[in-house]
Amino acid sequence: MTSRWSQLDKTLCLITFFLMGLGLVQVYSSSFVHATENLGDGLYLFKRQFLFSMLGASVMLGVALTDWKNVKVLGLLLWFVAIVGLLLTLYSHFSIKAGGASRWVSLPFGLRFEPSELLKICYPFILATVVAKSFSKMRTWQKVTISLVLLMPLLLLMKQPDFGSIVIIVAMALGVLFVFGLPLRWLSLFTVTSGLAMVALIFTSEYRMNRIRVFLDPWADPSNSGFQVIQSMLTFHSGKLWGRGLGQGQGKLFFLPEAHTDFTLATFAEEMGFIGFAVLVLIYFLLVYRGMRIAALCKKPFEKAVALGITLVLFFNIAINIGVVLGVLPTKGLTLPFMSYGGSSLVTMCMAVGILLCIDRSQKSEYGSGSKDHKAMRTSFYRL
């Protein structure tokens, strides 16, 4: 056990724990007034987030210290759990509807689970089976089967609807397939088909078209559809360079909707200023960098694909949330990893980091971090 602890990527662990701690402070600051007025206990959401953080940390370290063979099986099993969860969201008896979407499954003790969060980190395991075994060498029935397996959860996400998760999964899949050299004709077909499908989804849905209109001109309807985006930008701007100070933000006083969830970054920037925002973005950059480094140093295709896929999921979640808060992307219900309130997001993101740590540790165990090959790969990566 001691050797396993010593082989963990300490930098990635510290970054993750720092973000989780910062997230707890942010949830407390951004949710206190909301929880006091609506739930009768200003610490209600903070206490729940603290428990989620403890669970997430346990899951992360538990996965990181488990044999990779077992984690590989676990990832494939959790894929089926995610699929069952998505199916349950289609039935009103099990699902919880909020914001016009049925994305949550009701659990005992007042808890709820968002299957799409789990799907994001399981999808790379299925995708890795494609890149580990050349798609062009598969038989026709194998190609059809794997295509249906990859497509089915996207269709279920459309039914919820959860367009944001679809975008992240498709973008991640394109990134992995591109890196692993999928034949250009297949990659082009996948890209064009995905692009046309997303355009069709936008133009055939009134609420998605409305979000595009709001994105292009939020001030056309400032008191209704454009209210959230405008308040996010105003909240962000009011922090100026150094911020108002921790706990002194005004946007969370019922001016900014979702101040402790999807738009928590705006409240953070208001209190910590542009300097605090820039530091947070740098920390997220280091998180993604460590994930990319682990993927680059992997020798086996399956492990490399999983590490790359999970890192891209983290990256797109972060990038899209930042873009939405700044008003440079259409509004989408995506949380900011480790910072937004929400148990499903926090625990699954911790699991994602745990998988990266496990892959990195297994590579060190098998090849040795001090081997000539590993040192050469590490040197080549740093030169990029």
pLDDT for res 381 = 46
**Mean pLDDT: which of 27-31, 252-256, 367-371 is highest?**
27-31
Give the count of domains, the chain. 1
pLDDT for res 49 = 95
Q: Bigger pLDDT: 116 or 201? A: 116
Query: pTM score, two decimals?
Result: 0.92
Is the pLDDT assigned to residue 170 strictly greater than 60?
yes
Look at the chain and count its residues.
384
Q: How many CA atoms lie within 13 A of 338 on its CB side?
A: 23
Peptide bond into 301 cis (omega under 30): no
pLDDT for res 370 = 55
Q: What is the mean pLDDT of the chain?
A: 87
For 116, the domain range is 2-383
Tell me the average pLDDT across 24-29. Answer: 94
Spatial contact of 301 and 181, defined as CB atoms under 8 Å apart: no
121-151 pLDDT tens trace: 999 999 998 887 766 666 777 777 777 888 8
**Mean pLDDT: which of 253-262, 322-331, 350-359 is highest?**
350-359
177-210 pLDDT tens trace: 888 877 778 778 888 888 888 888 788 777 788 8
